[in-house]
Amino acid sequence: MNDINIAFTVDSNNLDQVAIVIASILSTSADPTRLRFFIVVDGRQDAAENKINGWASRPPRLTVVPYRNAFSSRTTLGHISTAALLRTQLPDSLPDLDRVLYLDADIVVRRDIAGLYQSDLGGKPVGGILDIGMYLRLRRDRIRHDATLADYFLKLGLDPHQSQYINSGVLLMDLEALRELGFSARALRFSNEHGASLITMDQCLINTILLGRIALLDPRWNVGGYLMGLPRHHHYVPRRLQRDLRLQKADPWLVHYTGKSKPWNAASVWHGEDWWAYAGRSGIAWPAVPAVGKRPSRLKAAWRSVTWGFSYALSRVHPD
């Protein structure tokens, strides 16, 4: 049987979180011997190896790949490291591989990853899952007459009315095809020219450069915690994506803790118990999670109910 190649790009701040992702993959795999893990690190290899040696057990067939981060001077969102941009360099940093599954470090896998890895890309160089949360924001802004995000999409050459923008935390990559496109060099050049104006640098970069060349995969393979944590806003999701949303809510095959709130830094995170089930036996000393904050006042809660009801009514009559 062919190997299943899985890659992460991290720095020292989120290397330990990779242990949790790998543990979830191993526990749900029908054949763990097929799994090969590559950790591309922004930093020294020996420092990464020392940290991995502190895990309860080193995953089999794991390789640490040091790679110079040409994006280190870029500005990103506060909770996103520039190491995240190294996913765009995987065609170069993993030159001996033809296909790889890239995963963010804030993930728990709940189904055999082989199903995702074997997905048909239909001749396209990358496969991903639509970012339903972004389309929720787009439609909500339209209803509220705030076109800022839609204007931003248009400037990137993306159509806010078309289902084409993926979340970059789960990427099935045909590395050979990406090399033929010169993708890594194009990503670096695009970052140099437009990096300061990108909302989510690596994600917007990938969606823009590969526009029309991304295969859309089963939505259950990347279910965002930020979106699932906003159930009262799900009416904003366009009608064309409501089926995908229902599938994600019913059976998330891969839980992705998107946004600033993560299981290791906040209480009451959606499916946080899945993460802690693996973290508790990882051998890593995780800091205590802050307690849940105070409940909002009755006045604030009442105001939220009024504004939610008003926005819900508008969403029912506003076209997708």
User: By mean pLDDT, which of 91-100, 151-160, 291-300 is the weakest?
Assistant: 291-300
Position 78 confidence tier, pLDDT thresholds 50, 70, 90: low
| pLDDT, position 308 | 47
Contacts of residue 136, defined as CB under 8 A and 6 or more positions apart, other chains included, come to: 227, 230, 233, 234, 236, 237
Q: How far apart are CA 71 and CA 216, in angstroms?
A: 27
User: What is the phi/psi pair of residue 43, to 5°?
Assistant: 145, -170
| pLDDT, position 239 | 93
In the chain, the domains with their CATH numbers are 4-292 (3.90.550.10)
Q: How far apart are CA 225 and CA 263, in angstroms?
A: 10
- Name the average pLDDT for the chain: 88
Q: How far apart are CA 248 and CA 162, in angstroms?
A: 20
| pLDDT, position 144 | 54
Position 319 confidence tier, pLDDT thresholds 50, 70, 90: low
Top pLDDT among 300 and 182 is at 182
- Reported as half-sphere exposure (CB side, CA atoms, 13 A), residue 182 has a value of 5
pLDDT digits 0-9 by tens, 211-257: 999 999 999 999 999 899 999 999 999 999 999 999 999 999 999 99
Q: How far apart are CA 131 and CA 248, in angstroms?
A: 12
Position 320 confidence tier, pLDDT thresholds 50, 70, 90: low
pLDDT digits 0-9 by tens, 168-225: 999 999 999 999 999 999 999 998 888 777 877 889 999 999 999 999 999 999 999 9
CA 169 from chain centre, in angstroms, equals: 2
Contacts of residue 182, defined as CB under 8 A and 6 or more positions apart, other chains included, come to: none
pLDDT at 310 over 50: no
pTM of the model: 0.89
Top pLDDT among 140 and 134 is at 134
Top pLDDT among 283 and 291 is at 283
| pLDDT, position 301 | 47
Nearest alpha carbon to residue 59 among 11, 12, 16:
16
pLDDT digits 0-9 by tens, 79-104: 567 888 899 999 999 999 999 999 99
pLDDT at 260 over 60: yes
Amino acid occupying residue 167: N
pLDDT digits 0-9 by tens, 16-52: 999 999 999 999 999 999 999 999 998 789 999 999 9
SS3 of the chain: CCCEEEEEEECCCCHHHHHHHHHHHHHHCCCHHHEEEEEEECCCHHHHHHHHCCCCCCCCCEEEEECCCCCCCCCCCCCCCHHHHHHHHHHHHCCCCCEEEEECCCEEECCCCHHHHCCCCCCCCEEEEECHHHHHHHHHHHHCCCCHHHHHHHHCCCCCCCCCCEEEEEEEEEHHHHHHHCHHHHHHHHHHHHHHHCCCHHHHHHHHHCCCCEEECCHHHCEEHHHHCCHHHHHHCCHHHHHHHHHHHHCCCEEECCCCCCCCCCCCCCCHHHHHHHHCCCCCCCCCCCCCCCCCCHHHHHHHHHHHHHHHHHHHHCCC
**CB count, 10 Å around CB of 128?**
26
| pLDDT, position 312 | 46
Contacts of residue 223, defined as CB under 8 A and 6 or more positions apart, other chains included, come to: 248, 252, 253, 254, 255, 256
CA 225 from chain centre, in angstroms, equals: 10
- Reported as half-sphere exposure (CB side, CA atoms, 13 A), residue 22 has a value of 26
Whether the Cβ atoms of residue 259 and residue 32 lie closer than 8 Å to each other: no
CA 203 from chain centre, in angstroms, equals: 9
